[in-house]
Amino acid sequence: MRMQAMAAIIKKDIKSISDNIQIWLPLIILPLIFVIIIPTVLIILAKTQNISAVNGIDLIIKTIDKFPAHMEVHTFSDINQKVLFLVLNSMFIPFFLMIPAMISSTTAACSFAGEKEKKTLESLLYAPISEKDLFAAKILGPFIASTAVTIFCFICYGVVVDVLTYEIFGKLIFPRLNWLIVVFWLSPILSIFAIFFNVYISARVKGFQEAYQLGALIVLPVVVLLYSQLTGLLLLNNIILFLFGLVLLIVSVILIVKTGKSFTRNKLFLSQIK
């Protein structure tokens, strides 16, 4: 009975996501830009001209010089190969992390806030399910959607990169270990953190737009990572990626446990009439 009730809520949340164009349209546009359009344009650029002459590429070349001599990027002699390998296998990671962050934020923002807008929160609160299971179900719905889209985007990105760059490198350059850490370790943890943050907010505001605007703040740390990568301030090696995920996991568990204890039907009911 318990699992059936949770499954019903998860199924309803996923259906509400697919039925709302305001939610699923960004889920299509964002991955399309980040995993297909941008890498395709970059690879075509590397095939057709000297990429070192492009404005801003000098920052990336300086970053390459900072890498130890044993790094794989130094096994290539051509500057186009070096820049392309580094961007696609390392510097593109923050772009990719925006996908689970923003998808989780968008889907989770409509969690309780969406129930309030549709006037269905009160009937949900009377459902034969514990508060703990209700909260877990509201997290699992967006998590399943986010994870599915993230893995699909990873596969699409890999196909685009390997197919379009095989002529340049003469071998498959994707994925490397850092990408496996990102997709199967860091991305799920980032999704959990983003979903928790947004469910926490949406349970306290009155509408989807308000929850979405506040929840979008979760993208800021990813933007900082992107800037750090582009400027060479922080190079996201395997150890840093793993530790970042570990810290985020610890923070997420602490916050979820703390909030779960104070999560009550009464507080949810009062939040919709404030």
Q: What is the pLDDT of residue 138?
A: 78
In the chain, which residues have pLDDT < 50?
A: none
Predicted confidence at residue 158, as pLDDT, reads 95
- Alpha helices of the chain — where are they, by DSSP H? 2-19, 21-32, 38-48, 57-66, 79-86, 93-109, 112-117, 121-125, 131-169, 177-181, 187-202, 208-215, 220-231, 238-262, 265-271
Give every CB contact of residue 228 below 8 A, 6+ residues apart in sequence.
234
Distances (CA, A) of 136 to 26, 39, 115, 133, 214: 25, 36, 16, 5, 21
Q: What is the pTM of this model?
A: 0.81
Q: b/e for 52-84, b at 16 or more Cβ within 10 A?
A: eeeeebeebeebbeebeeeeebeebeebbbbbb
What pLDDT is attached to residue 209? 56
Going from N- to C-terminal start, the domains of the chain cover 2-271
Contact predicate 97/189, CB 8 Å: no
* SS3 label, residue 131: helix
pLDDT at position 248: 87
**What pLDDT was estimated at residue 185?**
94
Look-up of token digits 């186009």:
80
What per-residue confidence (pLDDT) applies to 32? Answer: 87
CA 182/CA 105 separation, integer angstroms: 18
pLDDT for position 76: 85
pLDDT of residue 181: 93
Distances (CA, A) of 230 to 62, 144, 234: 10, 31, 9
